[in-house]
Structure 1
Amino acid sequence: MTAQDARHVPLNTAQKLAQDAAEAAETRAYLTHPDVVALRIERVRSQVDRMCWAGIVLGLAFTMTNVQGFASAGSPAWSLAWLAAWVLDPTVSLVLLAILRAEQVTARYQVQTGPWVRRAKWLTLVATYVMNTWASYAAGSLASIVLHSVPPLVVFVAAEAITDLRDKLTEAVGVAYSEAGGRPAAERPAVRRKLFADYLEDARSAWTSDVVISSGWVREVTGCSRGLAPRVARALADEVGGRP
């Protein structure tokens, strides 16, 4: 269908390109807006958190049976010592998960934690690794050592990486604000959303008798979207068309 202005005059190639350029500029302005960038980064942050947490929980679940075997030390099944051994791995894992959950919040707001937080995280990770691989080292089985070393090491690396990733994602939001010249949301004044009547009033104020009303001209003088411009142009043309 051929593009037309408000008076149903077909647009030439230059006018259509001008409309496309204006629409592209408007789209890019919204895509690079600090709030839009921040929202997209928040979505990425949520995806990263979910995947890292899934990997950490699965890795800790894999180590549970080996830690139980290390703690039970050959005790008869369902004995008191055998049952108590199942408590050891959740004890260490829950402390580790609590630290990681706290770092999830502190990293979001770039708050530095004390040295004991990092020591506690490393202690729980090292304890999990040692208890998970002790039997393999004692047996001297290289394959078993590798098998039972991979999950704890993945958990260790993920626990360290997830904190840095959150911190860098927070920095990315700050860089987006800096590049766009934006200010924090608390410092930016609220802007009322422009309505159809506002755009029509802007076009009415800019129109003179020697102006040919078209969608491109409306977009140029009011800054409205490409979808709204024909409506504004048509309304303005109806108004001025009835004048002497």
Structure 2
Amino acid sequence: MPPTLAEAEAVEQASKQVDRLCWTGILLGLAFTMTNVQSFAANGAAVWSLPWLAAWLLDPMVSLVLLAILRAEQVTARYGIRTRGWVRGAKWFTLAATYVMNTWEAYASGSADMVVLHSVPPLVVFVAAEAVTDLRDKLSDAVRAAFTNAAVSCPDTGQEADAERPPESAPERSPEAKRRTSFDEYLSRAREAWTPDVTVTPAWIREVTGCSRGLSSRLAGSLLAKVSGDER
């Protein structure tokens, strides 16, 4: 059975949740490593001394570079652009540096359980960093496919546009204000606002057209079908 618009919206929500959870896990993993990296960099310096304070800067410095690379890879992957070796090398270097600094003291003490404890967070960050770009790209494809299939299975009837009609009982409205906005007019607005870097969702449709929530799902599906046809 073809997906309905409600099911397509559920796919969109799931995509957003997965993306947020993945990035939250990465941020928590990097936050966990911060104290161990600070301890490694401080190297026994007195608390609140200048070297002890400066040691807190090391982990954020590495983590911010890593996050910037991951975010850039998400954007370039959406357009099918491959980054060069320096970008991937920088990502692997920052991940490796985080792992080494986080586990150095555990390896030095010969404590197997501490090695495991301090290896898990940076390794989770490493695995998530490799997966998040491809995962985000595939989820965007799933959202587009869901709305396109829903639009095909639910052809436009324009019934939802009735919800946009101003109340007939409002005599103070001008004739232009009483005129409803048709489905095709909303679709035309959305098509003019769309660019290749935009992921078409009901929320984006409402933002650029001002249509109702109920109409935005069908408009999203119709726009995706129209854009896909234009690209072919």
Do Structure 1 and Structure 2 share a fold, with TM-score over 0.5? yes
Q: Which of 44, 49, 54 does residue 84 from structure 1 map onto?
A: 54
TM score, norm. by length of structure 2: 0.59
Distance 1:193 1:30, change over 3 A: farther
Alignment of 1:42-191 (within 5 A): 42-173=12-143
The SS at the match of 1:148 is helix
Per-residue CA distance 1:190-220 (angstroms, 9 max, x = gap): x6724899xxxxxxxxxxxxxxxxxxxxxxx
CA gap of 1:158–1:30, structure 2 versus 1, over 3 A, is closer
Match of 1:213 in 2: none
Structure 1 counterpart SS, 2:56: helix
**Contact conserved, 2:29 with 2:124, CA < 8 A, in 1?**
yes
Distance 1:140 1:102, change over 3 A: same
Larger Rg over CA atoms: 1
Query: What does residue range 25-44 of structure 1 map to in structure 2 within 5 Å?
Result: 31=4, 37=8, 39-44=9-14
Which protein, 1 or 2, shows the higher relative CO under an 8 Å CA cutoff with sep ≥ 6? Answer: 1
Number of residues paired by the alignment? Answer: 160
Matched residue type, 2:133 = T
Q: Distance in 2 between matches of 1:180 and 1:48?
A: 22
CA RMSD of aligned residues (A): 3.0
Say if 1:163 and 1:42 are closer, same or farther in 2 by CA, change over 3 A: same
Using structure 1 for the length normalisation, give the TM-score. Answer: 0.57
User: CA contact under 8 A between 1:66 and 1:131: conserved in structure 2?
Assistant: yes
How far apart are residue 121 of structure 1 and its match? Answer: 1.1
CA contact (8 A) 2:2 2:150 kept: no
8 Å Cα contact 1:110-1:167 kept in structure 2 = no
Structure 1 segments unaligned to the other structure (5+ residues)? 1-27, 183-190, 198-244
* Distance in 2 of aligned mates of 1:144 and 1:135: 9
SS in 1 for 2:47: coil
Displacement of 1:146 in angstroms is 0.5
Could you report, residue by residue, the CA deviation over 1:24-66 in whole angstroms, capped at 9, with x for unpaired residues? xxxx6661x6x973x4443222111110111111111111010
